Copies of this chain bind each other. A is one copy, B any other.
Amino acid sequence: MSLAVYIMSDLKNDIRPLEASTMTDQVESRLREYLKRKSFVPGDALPKEQELADALGVSRNVVREALSRLRMLGMIDTRKKRGMVLTQPDILGSLERVLDPLILGKNTLKDIFELRLVLEMGLADLIYLRKTPEDVTELETIVAQEVNKQQKPFRVEHEIAFHGKLYQMTGNDTYMRFQKMLLPVFEYVLDYEIQVNGQADVGKVTHQDLVEILKNGDAEDFRRGMKAHLKPHFDRLKA
């Protein structure tokens, strides 16, 4: 019996069950293809639901389910009577929906944790390309407020404030939003690790030090500083 179970689960990994694509899936794909081929620009009106249904040879129901998906992704916008119009999809909006620590698998969580470290390490070049004196001043203000507030809730708050400002300094909105989305996942993994391994360590290089580097050092110095700042996290990966 246990052998049978083993074979079962083994099979499941080797050949995964083929997903019978439903009409809705196909219609979604067709619509996407159609939008691309017709090279619609944002604002253009799409055919009405019934016309699409007729053209595709399916019920309006199916078309609506497919459209509902595209609408969720922000690819189309529907207003009564006027029809649907193509819009700029919000690429991160869809990510936001699934990036919930509670429903993500352990492996994915770990991957995302690492991904954020990578993003943090790659920050330097963009920052040095675009930082302004005002940015640095603002960072100093943030750091100044950190003193004497090492307790848990404040700690996290300041982490977010400081690193959030760094992302903002890159001048890259997508990057900034992406990083901020990753934060809850990051925290989640961190909390978990702390629970298992004891207290969270802090790198030798502080926020204060990083600001100093920003004022006097170059991009490479900053990256080295960031590496040291994140060292406890990198060390965790080795284990």
Residues of A at the B interface (CB closer than 8 Å) are 24, 28, 32, 35-36, 39, 42, 61, 64-66, 68-69, 72-75, 86, 88-91, 94-95, 97-100, 102-105, 107-108, 111-112, 114-115, 117-126, 129, 170, 172-175, 178, 220, 223-224, 227, 234, 237-238
> By CB atoms of chain B within 10 A, which of A88, A94, A223, A227 has the most?
A94
Classify the interface of chain A: helix, strand, loop or mixed. Answer: helix
Complex CA distance for A125 and B124, rounded to whole angstroms? 14
Complex CA distance for A117 and B175, rounded to whole angstroms? 11
Complex CA distance for A170 and B119, rounded to whole angstroms? 14
Give 7 pairs: A residue, B residue, CB < 8 Å, sorted on A: A75-B98, A88-B104, A91-B95, A111-B173, A117-B125, A120-B122, A129-B234
Q: Chain B: which residue is nearest A77 at the CB level? A: B19
Complex CA distance for A175 and B107, rounded to whole angstroms? 12
Indicate whether A115 sits within 8 Å of B172 (C-beta atoms), given known contacts A125-B121, A237-B129: yes
Complex CA distance for A88 and B101, rounded to whole angstroms? 11
- A97 CB contact (under 8 Å) in B66, B73, B224: B73
- A99 CB contact (under 8 Å) in B91, B117, B238: B91
- A68 CB contact (under 8 Å) in B24, B74, B107, B172: B24
Residues B111 and A98 in contact, CB atoms below 8 Å apart:
no
- A72 CB contact (under 8 Å) in B69, B114, B123: B69
